[in-house]
Structure 1
Amino acid sequence: MTERIGFIGLGLMGAPMALNLLRAGHRLAVYARRETALAPLREAGAEVCASPAALAGAVDVVFTIVSDTEDVEQVLLGPDGVIEGARPGTVVIDMSTISASATRAIAARLAEREVAMLDAPVSGGDVGAREGRLSIMVGGDPEVFARVRPLLEVLGTNIVHIGEHGAGQVCKACNQVVVGGTIAAVAEALLLARASGVDAARVREALLGGFAASRVLELHGQRMLDGDYRPGFKARLHRKDMRLVEERAREQGLELPLAAQVAAHLDTLLAADGGELDSAAILSALERMQQGAG
């Protein structure tokens, strides 16, 4: 069966993901609040809908990727939300990064209307979104996952069903601990190299050939060397994700010192009006800290 697809959330990540679905030959309906976000999809052949409810009434599968938990709740459950237009059997795939607990509650509300939900947050940044190489972490019913997997394969190359509702969001929280900690580690390494009078670019080149190699060192390390902090993933959104990590840790009675330090670095960056920069700009926050200490 050919699925009719709807897509809500056409930002830095969502727009290229929606375009990839169109290029793969799928019929696509879209909704966004800003005309500037809609224009490229309209020009590419997508149908534009007036509300999430109208979109849901026209499709079989609804993708959402918006900023935070409250945005997902509004789009799915609010006035003119997806829940008001979706028919029984519709599948909602939320690819936002939000609270695992809220995800479970949203899934339960949708299930009352016989609408299935998967939480499927992603990692890979805007480059992965454009190239269809995202890592997708999925929570929800395995049979629903199997039904929509061909659609997910248009968007990503590493697609893993983690477990029940909310498990995808827990996995994304774990991802952000690793990514945030690695960005901070790369920033500290390059800071140390420069302070020692050593060529930081050559340090990065050497590290890429050893056990310290990582995608973060490769991509974000180059951003740091170039001072190019145009957003692939905005620092304010990374800080939001670390808040979700902190909330999940508290719920489990855990202390995560590394995650707390990453959050503190991001707070320093945001306090310097760096929220719209890429989170690789943590290096600039560390540099300011050193200047202050000096």
Structure 2
Amino acid sequence: MTNIAFIGLGIMGSPMAIHLAKAGHEVVGFNRTPEKTRPLVEAGGRAAESIADAVADAEVVCVMVPDSPDVTDVLAGEGGVFDSAKSGTLIIDFSSIRPDVTTQLAEQAAARGMRLLDAPVSGGEAGAKNAALSIMVGGEAEDFAAAKPFFDIVGKTVVHVGPSGSGQTVKAANQLIVAANIEALAEAVVFLEAYGVDTTAALEVLGGGLAGSKVLDQKKQNMLDRSFDPGFRIELHHKDLGIVTAAAREAGVVAPLGGLVAQLMASALANGDGGLDHSALLRGVERLSGRTQP
């Protein structure tokens, strides 16, 4: 049994923390909205009143919060992990943030005798609930080896992709691919419907050919039903595509499709769709096509 602190118990963090608790670990959770700790408590974990309380006895600290400033605040803010955790603590940041921020935080962690892995995930709410996440990990190889048993509890595909910041770089590439696929699927759905095709049947046959993808499998029903309860919110994907375009520019590489889907995601956010699942990019295609539905 390992003492684990889990900070950030939202759509993704809550089921991940619950899996760790059900695997027999002592999990203490903290969330800025206290009522979100309830599922973890019901699974055998404990709710903490502060980050300092959560990490005081922790051997491993897991973080799953929305953006770079949030991770910086959790780790380096007053009363945060760096101030409150023990030397030697292994910190696993499951958040999706800027690679350069991760690298800076890893250096700060090392200066305090702590170890930081960047371990962003892919798979959305379903992947978190089913412990089937894909986890791309940056950091030292020995730290990855120490964390592997915990990754295996919450994920299905777990790969060490390089030094600190590498996990975040791979996650940025993941988000580019996913956004482009969702946009292409959305455009195909609107195109098919415009011609009165049996769209359900069409997507079934398309899914069996080269056009098939996990995005098609997992997001087609959202689009067919116009049901956009968030598994991964547009506002978060908007943030991630900002990371993609900024990092691409810094590296001196072009990402023309990335720039386009970033603008389409920004448009969805500006039109009030930020809280919807990213499959709601369909609504943007409908708006552009003059086919907006209620």
TM-score range, shorter chain: over 0.9
Q: Show the counterpart of 1:205.
A: 204
**AA partner of residue 16 (structure 2):** M
Q: Deviations over 1:170-219 (max 9, x none)?
A: 00000001100000111111111111221211110111111111110011
Secondary structure at the aligned position of 1:59 is classed as coil
**TM-score if structure 1 supplies the norm length?**
0.97
Equivalent residues of 2:140, 2:164 under 8 A apart:
yes
Q: Which runs of 5+ in 2 are unaligned?
A: none
Q: Show the counterpart of 2:165.
A: 166
Tell whether 2:2 aligns with 1:6.
no
**AA partner of residue 152 (structure 1):** F
**AA partner of residue 209 (structure 1):** G
Secondary structure at the aligned position of 2:28 is classed as strand
Segments ≥4 residues shifted beyond 4 Å: none
1:292 is displaced (CA, Å) by 8.4
After superposition, the Cα gap between the structure-2 partners of 1:292 and 1:204, relative to the gap in structure 1 and judged at 3 Å, is closer
**Correspondences of 1:14-93 after superposition (within 5 Å):** 14-93=13-92
Secondary structure at the aligned position of 2:112 is classed as coil
**AA partner of residue 150 (structure 1):** P
**AA partner of residue 87 (structure 1):** K
**AA partner of residue 267 (structure 1):** A
Identity of aligned residues (%): 42
Equivalent residues of 2:98, 2:168 under 8 A apart:
yes
Structure-2 separation of matches of 1:201 and 1:14: 33
Structure-1 separation of matches of 2:190 and 2:42: 45
RMSD, matched Cα = 1.3
Structure-2 separation of matches of 1:256 and 1:148: 33
**AA partner of residue 227 (structure 1):** R
Structure-2 separation of matches of 1:124 and 1:136: 9
**AA partner of residue 178 (structure 1):** I
**TM-score if structure 2 supplies the norm length?**
0.97
Structure-2 separation of matches of 1:5 and 1:79: 21
Structure-2 separation of matches of 1:51 and 1:112: 23
Q: Tell me whether 277-286 or 54-63 shows the greater mean CA deviation.
A: 54-63
Tell whether 2:86 aligns with 1:123.
no
Tell whether 2:274 aligns with 1:250.
no
Secondary structure at the aligned position of 2:56 is classed as helix
Structure-1 separation of matches of 2:106 and 2:82: 11
Structure-2 separation of matches of 1:36 and 1:258: 40
Structure-1 separation of matches of 2:196 and 2:41: 52
Equivalent residues of 1:229, 1:277 under 8 A apart:
yes
Q: Show the counterpart of 2:263.
A: 264
**AA partner of residue 76 (structure 1):** L
Secondary structure at the aligned position of 1:172 is classed as helix
Equivalent residues of 2:57, 2:86 under 8 A apart:
no
